[in-house]
Chain A
Amino acid sequence: MVSLDENMLVKKIQEGDQLAWSDLVLRYEGRLTNYAQGKIKDHASCQDIVQESFLGFLAKINNFDASRSVQSYLFGILSNKITDLLRRLGRSRAIETPVDSSGNHKVSPFIDPAMGASTWYRGDEKKKLENDALIKCLGLLINQFVQKKDYLKLKSIELIFVNGLSNLEAANILSIDNKTVASHRHYANNFIIDNLKKMNLSPSVFPHLSEQDQNS
């Protein structure tokens, strides 16, 4: 949730207010540095990369989407910069495009038809609209669970969507049965589909939402 205070701060920075800029840096510097230190042990490098992230934020301040949270935006910039740094240092993980025996990058010819919970959605010019709609749907879903104190459902779908676990793995962690997790997943999928329809977006944007229910 974006606070009015945060939006005002960004607006003032967009107007060139130096105090607002200092306030923003002071407000977020500590948490960003702690996040960086979880991945880069050298404190000076952490401070550098956090400062680069702030500069990245400042460079695009006039295009900042006010519906987004400043914290999420800053963590996103920082996370990308950390990945770039680790790649430069040769510490990247096995996430580069695989290469063949000649050293050429292989391009995968397929997208797995058996999609998991983290469902891919398709679109071209409507991607931004769909992205925003999905953020709204998920926000409504999470808010509903929180308001009703239905934390078990929230935990189930967080493990499935965010951590990419199977129903069984989530059930084991939560010490509940597999069918209960499946029903939570079914509920979340239907909630998202219904809300996409209310927003006049076709659920076909997420064709696997209903399929995965049947397969889970």
Chain B
Amino acid sequence: MTISNATLDAFIDDHLNEQETIKVEKAVRESPELQALLSSIIASRDMGDHSIGAIWRREHLSCPTREELSSYKEEALDPQRIDYIKFHLETVGCKACKANLSDLNCTKGSLKNADAHEKHRQFLENSKILLPKKQ
């Protein structure tokens, strides 16, 4: 695996799969040059600079919509689009889309038990006081 700026950039965004992450972590620990490069990338980000990859990942520019993911689940899309979404999920490994798809597969989302449901209700109630005041 070639470790370029772009690879480190994806690593910082936690976008690599588990195997790639382990490889990059090991390489960074063993190489002072990679450590320096990684710290320079982080410093650049702290100054507000972003790479094309970081912007693409952050803005989810190629992610299918929620509706498309729902249709993907039902295989109700053009075969080429289905093939691309499968690639986006499995090869690119988009964690946001995986989370979305997993949510679509759950009938009641994250509210799996009564405690969680109550906590959710309390959160909604308590957070309402932080809403902007109506004009």
Q: Which residues of chain A are near B35, meaning CB under 8 Å? A: 94, 98, 106
Question: With an 8 A cutoff between CB atoms, is A183 at the interface?
Answer: no
Chain B binding surface, main DSSP class = helix
Question: With an 8 A cutoff between CB atoms, is B100 at the interface?
Answer: yes
Nearest A residue to B51 by beta-carbon distance? A118
Contact A59 B109 (CB under 8 A): no
Min CB–CB distance B116 → chain A (angstroms): 6
Contact B92 A162 (CB under 8 A): yes
Q: Which residues of chain A are near B9, meaning CB under 8 Å? A: 116, 118, 164
Q: How far is the CA of A196 from the CA of B14 in the complex (A)?
A: 29
Interface residues of A in 1-59 (CB under 8 A from B): 1, 13-18, 21-22, 25, 29-35, 38-39, 43, 46-47, 50-51, 54-55, 58-59
Q: Which residues of chain A are near B59, meaning CB under 8 Å? A: 68-69, 72, 135, 138
Q: Of A21, A38, A109, A135, which is within 8 A of B61 by CB?
A: A135
Q: A34-B100, A108-B36 are in contact. List 14 more A-B contacts (CB 8 A).
A: A17-B134, A21-B124, A33-B110, A50-B110, A71-B96, A98-B32, A98-B38, A108-B37, A110-B40, A120-B5, A121-B51, A161-B53, A162-B92, A164-B7
Residues of chain A touching chain B, judged by Cβ–Cβ distance below 8 Å, are: 1, 13-18, 21-22, 25, 29-35, 38-39, 43, 46-47, 50-51, 54-55, 58-59, 61-62, 68-69, 71-72, 75-76, 79, 83, 93-95, 97-98, 106-112, 114-122, 127, 131, 134-135, 138-139, 142, 149, 151, 154-155, 158-166, 168-169, 173, 192, 206
Q: Can you spell out 5 A-B residue pairs with CB atoms less than 8 angstroms apart? A: A16-B131, A98-B35, A110-B40, A112-B5, A169-B1
Residues of chain B touching chain A, judged by Cβ–Cβ distance below 8 Å, are: 1-2, 4-16, 21, 25, 28-29, 32, 35-40, 42-44, 48-62, 65-66, 78, 80-81, 83-84, 87-88, 91-93, 95-96, 98-100, 102-103, 106, 109-110, 112, 116, 119-120, 123-124, 127-128, 130-135
